[in-house]
Amino acid sequence: MALPDRRAPPVLLVHGGAWSIPGAELEAHEVGVKKALAAGFALLNQGASALDAVEAAVAALEDDEAFDAGRGSFLNRDGRVQLDALLMDGASLRAGGVGCVERLKNPIHAARLVMEKSPHVYLVGAGAEEFAKEHGMAWIKNSVLVIDRERRRLKEAQRANGGRKPDGSRHAGNLRLHNAKSHPAKSHKAKSLETKSHEIRFHDAKFHDTVGAVALDAAGNLAAATSTGGTLNKIPGRVGDSSLIGCGCYADNQSAAASLTGWGEPIMRLVLGKWACDRVQQLHPPEEAAEEAMGYLHARLQGHGGIILLDRAGRFGLAHNTPYMPWGISDQRGIRTGTKI
């Protein structure tokens, strides 16, 4: 059932990734969230669209090295930054995404170009970079996106993993997962091994600070955007949930706008962004639906992450099942921020 068309004053929500942030980095995350709110909400106040607001907020977060998006992102197994981003317009259901781009400072701007200037929804790798260049975006060297903190993190992750297991996964764990899937009559033993391999993957991969935003504009339209450098030590070419429609990002005026963060593979398998928006359409308040989404993620796949969710009435929900998720809200009541809910 479609939600009633109730106009509400503009609202902007942002997040800076769900994970276990070291104490020394908490303040930088909260400062970054505030800057992103300022950039996006100024536009909403001037009557700009929700789409413009989420793009501006996410671009500000991409520019901030504290987060896993743009410069300062986690490095892949080869020591390179590979970026994914998506935005979606709840009024038209149009969306634009890019995956595995290495030469663009702000992949969220490239995603907007894909949406506005191409007949497609998603471009990846060199094709996405060429397309962005054709439409005026400058290329940068990948090394511009790489910072020392991330070189150190990659070294530590590879040392801890014997240098051969991307994404914190144990090779044997992956094989079990694959086998379990291809045998419908899997034993209880196989199931418990599968669970264990998931747990190992989460705890080894402590770092998740993808960025995202959802907004409601004065015209009553919703939009969502998510941008990420993905997961630490990932296999080159890996795309996570963040830039996939309905997984890490979704917006539909008839339900809600969502941006997610966390361990991407379980989020993708559950198409969790769309799942959460559907709950809102089924008349669960966003506050409740956000909690339910995290509960579902953990109950089904032992997944960990966070979500921001907003409906057309300006009601919102924030939830995470990780130690922290930097968040911020800007609306008629002012600005509120925090590092956990």
Q: Which residues bind ligand ASP (CB under 6 A)?
A: 17, 68, 208-210, 228, 230-231, 240-242, 248, 261-262, 264
CB neighbours of 303 closer than 8 A, spacing ≥ 6? 198, 202, 262, 263, 266, 267, 270, 297
Residue 70 contacts residue 106 (beta carbons within 8 Å): yes
Nearest approach, Cβ of residue 224 and ligand ASP (Å): 14
CB neighbours of 156 closer than 8 A, spacing ≥ 6? none
Report which residue's Cβ sits closest to ligand ASP.
Answer: 264
- The question of whether 210 is a catalytic residue gets the answer yes
32-64 core/surface letters (b: 16 or more CB in 10 A; e: else): bbbbbbbbbbebbeeebbbbbbbbbbbbbbbbb
Dihedrals φ, ψ of 5, to 5°?
Answer: -85, 80
Is the CB of 231 or the CB of 337 nearer to ligand ASP? 231
Q: Which of 210, 231, 322, 337 is catalytic?
A: 210
CB neighbours of 335 closer than 8 A, spacing ≥ 6? 34, 37, 38, 41, 328, 329
DSSP category for residue 308: E
Is the CB of 56 or the CB of 247 nearer to ligand ASP? 247
Catalytic residue positions, numbered: 210
